[in-house]
């Protein structure tokens, strides 16, 4: 089997500082790493789909490398709207999967699965876009991997959530992306972060799933005049699993922590 663990929106802060001056995001990510290390069978890759840091500072990326050091699985990181491309590259320039400049699109082979990570960030802004350069890169990758199962990873998900204060900072102009995907039948799913909640939908024929945050979860408020809010709901990650014959993945929502059990029934 092939297993990819997806973590997102960890919002690492400099040592001793709190996320939004309220939440110890570093301690929460440490618990996430501990939970990931207990997984059996082990994931072949841990992919962090953006908002690695809260402000994109060198101190935050230094802290992130320290927090990742105990992780016993291979990992890859990609940028979110709270990240800084240049500083991310400076911090992770020793990693073979990461480009060292420009838009940070990259591909990783995870057994028979090809993961295509798309950089949706717009420097200095919080909404997402897919540039012509990124779309051209994606098409070349889809052509080159036409006989393989492909997972597309991105920070900003390609849909409107219905939560008004979230959708102000969503992915814009998804039409060209949707048209491109419609020409390929080997795309297993799209996985994303950004929304600090688990959501599921489709883009054409392709399933789209989002990953919760390891810190706070954004409030599910659907009224048009809703005020922005978050809750300390249970943090979680996603586990995507393929059988040996590499059909479509089954994706599991996994809560972070240790809980009472196992109990002798199912």
pLDDT digits (tens, 9 = 90+) for 80-91: 999 999 999 999
| Assigned domain for 264 exists | no
What CA–CA distance (Å, rounded) separates 21 from 151?
A: 35
Across the chain, mean pLDDT equals 96
The closest of 161, 226, 244, 148 to 196, measured between CA atoms, is: 161
| Assigned domain for 134 exists | yes
| Assigned domain for 35 exists | yes
| Assigned domain for 163 exists | yes
| Assigned domain for 81 exists | yes
- To which residue do tokens 């897919």 refer? 130
CA 198 to chain centre: 11
What is the CATH classification number for the domain harbouring 131?
Answer: 3.60.21.10
| Assigned domain for 263 exists | no
pLDDT digits (tens, 9 = 90+) for 49-75: 999 999 999 999 999 999 999 999 999
| Assigned domain for 265 exists | no
- The domain of 70 spans 2-255
The whole model's pTM is what? 0.96
Give me the number of domains the chain comprises: 1
């Amino acid at each position: 089997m092939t297993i990819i663990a997806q973590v997102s929106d960890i919002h690492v802060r400099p040592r001793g500082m709190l996320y939004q001056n309220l939440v110890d995001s570093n301690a929460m990510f440490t618990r996430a790493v501990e939970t990931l290390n207990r997984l059996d069978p082990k994931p072949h890759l841990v992919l962090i789909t953006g908002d690695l840091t809260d402000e994109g500072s060198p101190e935050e990326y230094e802290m992130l490398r320290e927090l990742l050091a105990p992780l016993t699985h291979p990992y890859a990181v990609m940028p979110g709207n709270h990240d800084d491309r240049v500083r991310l590259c400076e911090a992770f320039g020793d990693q073979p999967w990461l480009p060292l400049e420009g838009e940070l699109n990259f591909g990783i082979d995870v057994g028979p699965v090809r993961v295509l990570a798309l950089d949706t960030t717009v420097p200095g802004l919080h909404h997402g876009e897919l540039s012509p350069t990124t779309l051209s890169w994606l098409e070349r990758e889809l052509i080159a991997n036409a006989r393989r199962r492909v997972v597309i990873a991105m920070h900003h998900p390609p849909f409107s959530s219905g939560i008004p204060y979230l959708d102000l900072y969503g992915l814009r102009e998804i039409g060209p992306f949707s048209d491109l995907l419609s020409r390929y039948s080997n795309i297993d799913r799209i996985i994303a972060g950004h929304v600090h909640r688990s959501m599921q939908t489709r883009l054409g024929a392709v399933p789209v799933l989002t990953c919760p945050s390891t810190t706070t979860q954004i409030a599910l408020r659907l009224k048009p005049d809703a005020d922005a809010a978050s809750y300390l709901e249970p943090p979680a990650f996603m586990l995507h699993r393929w059988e040996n014959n590499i059909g479509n993945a089954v994706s599991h929502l996994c809560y972070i922590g240790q809980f009472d059990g196992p109990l002798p029934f199912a």
